[in-house]
């Protein structure tokens, strides 16, 4: 909007309400219109009360949907870790004990003799 269009628009608005065209009023109105024009469209939308209501409604709907999905999920077994639950799911027994590593009879397991 150029300055001539803005001046005409302000003059029509002031005449519509029957106010005097004071310079301070025109300066404030012009600054407010220019500030509103510089804001991004999303910021102007987010500042409206309807936008706040829409965002709260979207939040409530998404929270309700996630609660419904979580409540319908099967319960986890008594496994205490993720690895145990994966092994249980595949039918692998978790109680097996690993054997001790085989070592040479002449060296200790931590001596570094296998270099």
Domain layout of the chain by residue ranges: 1-38, 41-69
Q: Tens digits of per-residue pLDDT, 4-57? A: 777 788 778 778 887 777 778 778 877 887 776 677 778 777 778 888 899 999
Q: CB-hemisphere CA count at 13 Å for 113?
A: 9
Per residue in 58-94, pLDDT (tens digit) is 999 999 999 999 887 766 556 577 888 788 888 887 6
Residue 103, CA distances (Å) to 47, 106, 109 in order: 73, 8, 6
For the question of whether the overall pTM of this predicted structure is more than 0.85, the answer is no
């Amino acid at each position: 909007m150029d300055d001539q269009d803005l001046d005409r628009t302000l003059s029509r608005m002031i005449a519509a309400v029957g106010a005097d065209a004071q310079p301070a009023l025109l300066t404030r109105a012009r600054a407010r219109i220019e500030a509103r024009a510089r804001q991004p469209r999303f910021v102007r939308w987010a500042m409206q009360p309807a936008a706040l209501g829409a965002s709260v409604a979207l939040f409530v709907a998404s929270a309700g949907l996630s609660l419904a999905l979580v409540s319908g999920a099967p319960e986890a077994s008594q496994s205490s870790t993720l690895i145990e639950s994966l092994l249980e799911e595949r039918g692998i027994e978790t109680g097996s004990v690993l054997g001790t590593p085989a070592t040479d009879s002449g060296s200790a397991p931590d001596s570094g003799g296998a270099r």
